[in-house]
Chain A
């Protein structure tokens, strides 16, 4: 290629996810109010969507012939994805427990 170009997939979504995870963990710890659990669940869904969107961004760039090279941080994405997925049961458990009370 005459004009080799490299795209670096922005990291800010992953930083946002990391910050969001901290908030989510706090919400999970503060399970005294079910509304916080619902908020945590919603936040986890947003974070999950953010990670997915970030991955899509990377894949699209890879298929984009304008770019010779695509730079991503796949391990961070995978770690965050796993942590985000672990948030779901944390928030879901108090909700389910409350709903299953007789």
Chain B
């Protein structure tokens, strides 16, 4: 059979038939998956988990290693994975105890590392094509290095944990987690022999640091470490089991490495189930949550997964012809032959129906409705719906595949899936009592919920059961008595006296053999059974009080902050009792939810009667989210006075309308304000610091520096430095205030305004100064600041430009400045230094700095000698380089100072002159 059509048949089989529990598979010539022995315990556990939690998260993990090109050249793994998706879709659509479970799927690949192909998706008929599109590219992904099981399972585990957390945040009721992975080999780490392999896959594993994969020995050592990390006590395999993760490994065709001393089949089995035939992985006695599904024929994988689903929902396997007895309600027949061929169905009563392959068709055979759907041009899916109230379908059915002419086709295939209509149920008034053995009756019903006698089923039916604590997940197998002729079995259980919950789950399985000796896989149903402390106390039939949703501030919906639920109670067999709601204990709630309260209310519970206790819930301030609570229920028997405090779980969804655009705007405003406020404080701080400290703090030095006048602009020859235009010569302090300093120039005429220096507040630096001038008609302004990059360590190679030591520049008055003309000239550097005691000792250094600048400019015309603070005259401290030059410059500066003294500005005030004289300008 062509893989694609086989896949289509499988998908159709699953999608079309599993709405009822129980399926049987048959095929002509060869039973599909004949070599398939599923881990029945793990499958049973998964079925129970789904029935209890109704939420499933599955990571579909695909091997991408290079060996796939040999072991699975036709990429049947992709067909199988898509079939699995369809099988899971059946789960997502088939009601379990009235509601279908939610199934979330994540498709991921693995080779050297785990690699998710997409996001988590809720499985639905509408969205399955998108998931299939994520799987399809894996047909070409068979060229990667390594088969790294540790990374694969670690990534899948991480993805599951994240998804479970997300689901728990929305509806905290637990999630069944499954890793379902396809692989074709053992745990293999390849030797990196090429640079591109090292670049792409790395030269070592994070779980084996320091072990180089460039050598064969290193690759083997890394693999051994990975295996150890997987299988050591409390290793990854154990952690997966402890978290309740079901681990199903599908080995396409284990391919042992030449250097591998471990049987990959055995290792995979140990990894999934805890123990193989030769070795163990993790705790071999841990709960059996894994199954290893080896496949010699990858094409049989779709059938394997169909059978897994059948296991979950109840199925049998058979061949054609097949026998239908009272246990079955539906048959699904898939057929693949030649184009133009047909299928002939013969009912037990001898009626025949011919179905043309590749054609849609609807007909009936007696009371049985038959619907055929085309599967490609040479395949068909035929659904037979039996009327279980009639008996003309009971007996042997025959499926015959014929060719375009009239001959039977050899080597082609038909498959038959039989769906059971048997399900277990229990008595309505069943309950357990603490410390007292109690028996409950299990009975069988058909798909119409009508009682079913084992006598109606030609086979042999068996009932088994287990009790599950919903709080802890602990599970205890129960002995079930034999089925009586009227279809009833008895299960006995003694609830421990220290049991905290008042509700237990009982999982009941019905299995056995159907007519013709077909094995009938178990159909599992779970039931909530109340537990009472005393037989005189009423039973609580409600295991979860679900309140109608509460809403507040939602557009188009009325506010509703109060809601009413009910607790169903069944009076004891002994006497009357009273039940009171006394309070509520909130277990989980959205943040900032208001007070949750219930109205205290009591009700009489008469003997043997079923009553409903209304629970009025109110929440003061709603938020969006789920609220989980325990309602405190007090039960008191009138006879004997026995009492019991029972926590009854409750849940309510709450919704609060929020104007999201406003919220976003508010976030922006709050964040902006929060950022700006510290900046404002910093600005104020800097503003406070940005002032000249006193009118005694200046002394002025001058340096002649080369400048270039070009097109009205004055530039320093070395392309930096603030500029001050003529008339050069000396400068003196003309006016002082803490936030404004005016500097006159001794060579300027009376009409020349002074150079004004004002503080400049800088947010992220020391306060700086700005000088503005209007000299000779040239108006200019220059910030006496220099932006510096903050580095780890900054050598101070140039003079600082802060308020503490600000410098100005004045160009020689004789220098022309004409449009378009470039003239080299010489200007004066004026240095303003703060009068701080610290500078007194460093005055020489400052002058040295100034002379260094001058030296860097290559031309030194004059340097003021520093006369610092009163009578202290510092000698210039020569710098490390150009000492002689600096000394010469200092001598020249002294001469210039003397000249400046002889030419005091005419308009300088006596006080100003005094200041200037003080500083020996």
Chain A residues packing against B (C-beta within 8 Å) = 1-2, 31-34, 41, 44-45, 48-49, 52-53, 55-56, 58-60, 62-74, 85, 88-89, 92-102
Contacts and interface: CB of A to CB of B under 8 A. Distances in A.
Contact of A71 (B552, B554, B793, B796): B793
Residue of A72, A88, A100 most packed against chain B (CB within 10 A): A100
Contact of A96 (B656, B670, B845): B670
Nearest to A53: B682
A55 B792 contact: no
A35 B626 CA distance: 23
Contacts of A2: 845, 877
B663 interface: yes
Contact of A64 (B681, B800, B846): B800
Interface in B672-697: 674-675, 677-679, 681-682, 685-686
Interface string B780-793: 00000000101111
A56 B764 contact: yes
Interface string B795-814: 11001111011000000000
Contacts of A70: 793-794, 796
B34 interface: no
A93 B801 CA distance: 44
Given A32-B592, A71-B792, A74-B791, 18 more contacts: A1-B848, A2-B845, A48-B675, A49-B681, A55-B764, A63-B765, A63-B802, A65-B799, A66-B838, A68-B795, A69-B793, A85-B675, A88-B675, A89-B671, A96-B662, A97-B658, A101-B659, A102-B554
Interface residues of B, number: 55
A44 to B, nearest CB: 6
Contacts of B656: 101-102
B553 A72 contact: no
A99 B663 contact: yes
A89 B668 CA distance: 8
B591 A65 contact: no
Contacts of B790: 55, 58-59, 62, 72, 74
B473 to A, nearest CB: 28
Given A41-B670, A70-B793, A101-B656, A33 B592 contact: yes
A102 B658 contact: yes
A48 B592 contact: no
Nearest to A42: B674
Residue of B663, B677, B764, B880 most packed against chain A (CB within 10 A): B663
B779 interface: no
B445 interface: no
B484 to A, nearest CB: 56
A63 B791 contact: no
A65 B794 contact: no
Nearest to B672: A88
B837 to A, nearest CB: 11
Contact of B657 (A48, A53, A101): A101
B4 interface: no
Residue of A48, A55, A102 most packed against chain B (CB within 10 A): A102
Contacts of B679: 52
B845 to A, nearest CB: 6
25 contacts: A1-B848, A45-B674, A48-B675, A52-B678, A56-B685, A56-B686, A59-B788, A63-B765, A63-B766, A65-B804, A65-B839, A65-B845, A66-B838, A74-B792, A85-B675, A88-B674, A88-B675, A96-B664, A97-B658, A98-B592, A99-B663, A100-B659, A100-B663, A100-B666, A101-B658
B667 interface: yes
Nearest to A49: B678
Contact of A94 (B555, B592, B659): B592
A56 B682 contact: yes
A45 B804 contact: no
A41 B791 contact: no
Given A44-B674, A102-B553, A31 B591 contact: yes
Contacts of A1: 845, 848, 879-880
Contact of A100 (B662, B685, B766): B662
B842 interface: yes
A101 B842 contact: no
Contact of B795 (A44, A59, A69): A69
B497 interface: no
B663 A65 contact: no
Contacts of B804: 63-65
Contacts of B555: 102
B849 interface: yes
Given A32-B591, A66-B838, A102-B659, A52 B674 contact: no
Nearest to A70: B794
B660 interface: yes
Contact of B670 (A56, A60, A95): A95
Interface in B332-390: none
A92 to B, nearest CB: 4
Given A53-B682, A72-B792, A94-B592, A65 B666 contact: no
Contacts of B554: 102
Contact of B842 (A65, A93, A99): A65
A72 B789 CA distance: 12
A53 B554 CA distance: 46
A53 to B, nearest CB: 7
A101 B658 CA distance: 4
Contact of B766 (A45, A60, A71, A72): A60
A73 B792 CA distance: 6
Interface string B803-843: 01100000000000000000000000000000000110010
Contacts of A66: 838, 842
Closest 6 CB pairs of A and B: A102-B553, A96-B666, A100-B663, A49-B678, A92-B670, A100-B662
Given A32-B592, A72-B790, A96 B659 contact: no
B622 to A, nearest CB: 9
A73 B839 CA distance: 27
Residue of A60, A64, A97 most packed against chain B (CB within 10 A): A97
Contacts of B846: 65
B621 to A, nearest CB: 9
A38 B793 CA distance: 38
Contacts of B663: 93, 96-97, 99-100
Interface string B83-106: 000000000000000000000000
A65 B658 contact: no
Contacts of B667: 89, 92-93, 96
Contacts of B839: 65
Nearest to A74: B790
Contacts of A65: 796, 799-800, 804-805, 839, 842, 845-846, 849
B792 to A, nearest CB: 6
A102 B794 CA distance: 55
A46 B84 CA distance: 56
A70 B848 CA distance: 20
B765 A59 contact: yes
A64 to B, nearest CB: 7
A67 B845 CA distance: 11
